[in-house]
Amino acid sequence: MGNRSCRHERLTYDELWSVVDQFAAGLLELGCQSGDHVGLIAENSDLWLISDLALLSVGAVDVPRGGDAPPSEVSFCISHARCTAAIVESEAHVEKLGEARDQLSWVIVLSGDAPQGTHSFDDVVELGTRRLKANPNEISERTSAIDPASLATIIYTSGTTGNPKGVMLTHENITHNIVALPEMLGFRPHHRFLSFLPSWHSFERAVEYVVLDQGVEIYYSNKWTLKDDFHKVRPEFVCGVPRLWETFYVNLISALDKQPRPVRALVNAALAGSKAYVTAVRRRKGHHIRDGEMSRPGHLERFGYAVTQAATWLPHKMADALVYRKLRAALGGCIGTAVSGGGPLPAHVDEFLDRAGILLLNGYGLTESSPVICLRTHDRNILGTIGRPVPMTEVRIVDDEGRDVGHGKRGVIQARGPQIMQGYFQNAVATQAALPGEGWLDTGDVGMLSSDGDVMITGRAKDTIVLRGGENVEPEPIETEVCSSPSIKDAVIVGHGQKTLGVLVVPDPAAVASVLGLPGKPDEASIAKDQDATAHLRAEVARLISRQRGFRNFERIGKVHVLSEPFSIDTGTLTATLKKRRQVIERQHAGTITALFSDG
């Protein structure tokens, strides 16, 4: 579809497997061996999928990264993972390999011209085609000989500014999702799946494996053509990060706000009635979380909900005619199942899509869990939860001492199952922290478990901030950079579950006064009130956290709040860790953080 890097306009499954075998055989001709680490730097397309499957089928270990990753990040991943070769999307991506190219035996360029010293996709396919004439079954024989416990991929979870960790996943780890998810998602052969998230990301990658296993049609798109491709493809299934669903919601509401006042009044009344109707339906069925537990309405309550349903049925139908149909049409009009993952889903967006008749299954997982741990299902789509653990998976909630606290109490979410990673490549310290023992993965997220087995996320224990677009951000390196300004005494990055990052800044009054020539001896409070001073501090943050200084777009700061007093931390009652310090500061300034992001 809209992805210009796609080589084939259309491929049948037979044609796909044939090209995969030919490319895999070509890799063998170049000297690729089982266990070799090979970088894969490209965006989602048929060529990415072919390369990935070919590497896996000969037992090689791919190290994927997005084509838009900065050169320093690409070079780091290739070097740290000890790659001996690389497959890149285009000639421009060859340059991103940087000094790491010196350690590579060969480089393949998937599209466009292949510069000197590299191989084109067509060249490698031709090599493989000739090789297969001697032994047509060579690739299937090699694939059958692969040990399920052997390493399949190393996926780096963040960029070089965030101490990246290479997650090691085996063939067995990855195939767990292929076995566990189809029945939960309700796939059918020939369903249409629209792919637009990066294929190298564990969420999209796992879904593509599942749809391939089920005979689903895959159409590739990108952010530039996505709107049109929804109408062209009319997908029955789509996966997106929370930011996608929020964008559809915001666009629809913004369009309504532009309508004449009488129309807005009618629509708002219909939406209010619709919300009451759908809420009553859920509560009457007992599909409602109250104080961390599923509500079980009595006969009188169910009767009350039934009355509310009857009274609000007409407004709900009006809302459907005036609003919800437009949303479904924007998604192509055929969506049967949508999945949200990769970040926190805003409750108001979740609830609105439910009212609109879009089955949105909110899921949860980590790259470290291949990635799915929990997922809501068609018959148990409980808003406010991330669903129950997927088959063959256990979830428990533990306290600070690692003790299981049971259901109804908050603690750190831990998971265990065949999809849990083997550890971080060349990082024993991080591996020990994430895998405390007995097969459990410490997710670093805080949540609780209902007595019915539904999991709810209530916060986070780890430092990593997850934005609505699914991006993982390590705050400490950014804070360190912000505090390198003489004008800034202290800073804490915030923004978990938001569109962009924000920062709470404690100014250095003397330094700011010196730069701006302010009279007297100002304190933090006076600096926070001075427009020129706050403008200077915002400019300092923008200067330091910029692409020119090695930060990616989503790591840049969208919101800056200058505090009127230093952070107040009673270190005598805390373990001296940055993690707990940050948690305390976020609690102390919860109101400020809420206001900072109040405009979205």
What is the per-residue pLDDT across 251-274, written as a single tens digit (0 to 9) for each? 888 888 889 999 999 999 999 999
> Which has more pLDDT, 125 or 344?
125
pLDDT average, residue stretch 496-504: 92
Distance CA 366, CA 412 (A): 14
What is the per-residue pLDDT across 14-45, written as a single tens digit (0 to 9) for each? 999 999 999 999 999 999 999 999 999 998 88
What is the per-residue pLDDT across 53-82, written as a single tens digit (0 to 9) for each? 999 999 999 999 988 888 888 999 999 999
Q: Going by DSSP bridges, is the β-strand pair 192-195/237-240 parallel, antiparallel, or unpaired?
A: parallel
Answer whether residue 575 shows pLDDT above 70: no
Distance CA 413, CA 450 (A): 13
Which residue is listed with tokens 């992001």? 597
Q: Which residues contact 480 (CB under 8 A, 6 or more apart)?
A: none
Answer whether residue 113 shows pLDDT above 70: yes
pLDDT confidence bin for 475, thresholds 50/70/90: confident
pLDDT average, residue stretch 511-524: 89
| Lowest-confidence pick of 7-11, 172-176, 325-329 | 7-11
Question: Other CB atoms closer than 10 Å to residue 45's CB: what's the count?
Answer: 24
Answer whether residue 487 shows pLDDT above 80: yes
Enumerate domains of the chain plus CATH numbers: 1-146 (3.40.50.980), 242-355 (no CATH), 360-466 (2.30.38.10), 474-596 (3.30.300.30)
SS3 per residue for 418-478: CCCCCEECCCHHHHHHHCCECCEEEEEEEEEECCCCCEEEEEECCCCEECCCCCEECHHHH
Would you state the pLDDT for residue 37? Answer: 98
| pTM score above 0.75 | yes
Instruction: Report how far Cα 124 is from the mean position of its chain's Cα atoms.
Output: 33
Answer whether residue 439 shows pLDDT above 70: yes
Is 237 exposed, middle or buried (CB count within 10 Å of its CB: 0-12, 13-18, 19+)? buried
Answer whether residue 2 shows pLDDT above 70: no
Q: What angle do CA 53, 56, 57 make, to 5 degrees?
A: 80
Answer whether residue 354 shows pLDDT above 80: yes
Per residue in 282-295, is it b (16+ CB within 10 Å) or e — as a string?
bbbeeebbeebbbe
Would you state the pLDDT for residue 572? Answer: 41
pLDDT average, residue stretch 437-442: 96
pLDDT average, residue stretch 137-144: 96
> Which has more pLDDT, 172 or 496?
172
| Lowest-confidence pick of 130-144, 328-342, 355-369, 475-489 | 475-489
- Rounded to the nearest integer, the mean pLDDT of the chain is 90
Q: What tokens does 29 get?
A: 């001709």
